[in-house]
Amino acid sequence: MKQIGSFDTIVGYFRQLLESLPDKRTGKNSRYGMEDAALSAFSVFFTQSPSFLSYQRTMEQTKGRSNAQSLFGVHKIPTDNHIRDLLDPVKPEEIFPVFETILETIEQKAKLQGFRAFANNLLMAIDGNDKQDCENTAAKRWLLQHGNKYSSLKVTVLGDDLYCHQPLCQMLLDQEFNFILVCRPESHPTMYEHLEGISLPTVVVKKWTGKFEETHTYRYLNGLPIKDGEDALLVNWCELTVTRPDGKVVYKNSFATNHTITDQTVVEIVLAGRTRWKVENENNNTLKTKGYNLEHNFGHGKEHLASFLTTLNILSLLFHTLLELVDDKYKLLRSHLPTRKTFFNDLRALTRYLVFDSWEHLLTFMIQGLELDLPPNSS
């Protein structure tokens, strides 16, 4: 019996969802289903093989079946042009429920605990660019549409200075989110006026870098107004300054948060705030340089094609993340193959020449080929 959250069952759920995608075709021009178009595109991202569909079309002609069908549930493989034409009108929001289902699966299997940080909270980074109004609006829209689905998970939102303003902070609190946001002096003059001339609580920590000792100086104060006016939201402020033995400052930044700051918590709160760069850089680096080629133009289309394909690409990374957390065979393979590149090279080669009945069949074949013992309670 397949476990809930296995690759095969998640793909099956994904296909059911895709069957309800809006289809703007008229008449009898429906040789390919919308679900086949979306799953075909997804399979290319998941296998990191631009030629995957071409190989599977050849396999169908020579063997009568293909991995596109057995692994990804594609009944008829559309041409590349058909895929683009069919998916162009589809908004990315149509497949958002898959992301939520995967998160629920990870939570049900108690795999979220390893991602918790300060105050046993999950850390969620929100990213932005120079379009401040647009990014704030997007963040508020996301909170209104999706916030209630995640607030029960105990989440601390991390973000840049452009998010550290009362409307968004109040909305986060109303939705039962915590926050740790970068808080720059030039953006918050009122807050920093309240800091002037005060002897602030200070914690000093010495850290050995391997070459020399750095001094980490933490300062903090609770209950500062985030803006001018009697209706100002009160937040808690902290700052970290890192200096080398010669007195050179190598890092300085400050944060606003709703978490109460004390001598005992200030180091953890700042560490959580700084984690935003780690989250963004690692995820972005994986998507850009580890085979997902996020910056590549997969086709702009006339409506939503680019954003829909980007969403499928990110979803493929999430599928692999899910497998690393819940699939014992997948974890075994990834731990024994020397690099991520080796795994995907093997995946591409095997699916080019052999047809597998299921994802479980493929993983078992790879494990046996490496002469490894199958994980307990697997077949």
What are the structural domain ranges in the chain? 7-95+292-369, 121-287
Give mean pLDDT, residues 39-44. Answer: 96
Give the span between the Cα atoms of 290 and 319, in whole angstroms: 15
CB 117 within 8 A of CB 158: no
Share of the chain above pLDDT 70, in %: 90
**Token pair 């973000």 is at which residue?**
159
What type of residue sits at position 13?
Answer: Y
**pTM of structure:** 0.84
**pLDDT tens string 141-197:** 889 988 988 888 999 999 999 999 999 999 999 999 999 999 999 999 999 999 999
**Token pair 């200096």 is at which residue?**
243
The pLDDT assigned to 29 comes to 62
25: pLDDT confidence band, cut at 50, 70 and 90?
confident
The pLDDT assigned to 1 comes to 34
CATH code that applies to domain 121-287: 3.90.350.10
**pLDDT tens string 106-134:** 888 888 888 899 999 999 988 755 455 57
Of all helices (H) and strands (E), which one includes residue 163? none
Structure tokens at 114: 């390893």
Give the span between the Cα atoms of 306 and 195, in whole angstroms: 47
Q: What angle do CA 184, 187, 189 make, to 5 degrees?
A: 100
Give the Å distances, CA to CA, from 205 to 118, 148, 288, 312.
18, 38, 36, 44
Give the Å distances, CA to CA, from 349 to 88, 331, 353, 362.
30, 20, 7, 12
Give the span between the Cα atoms of 266 and 273, in whole angstroms: 11
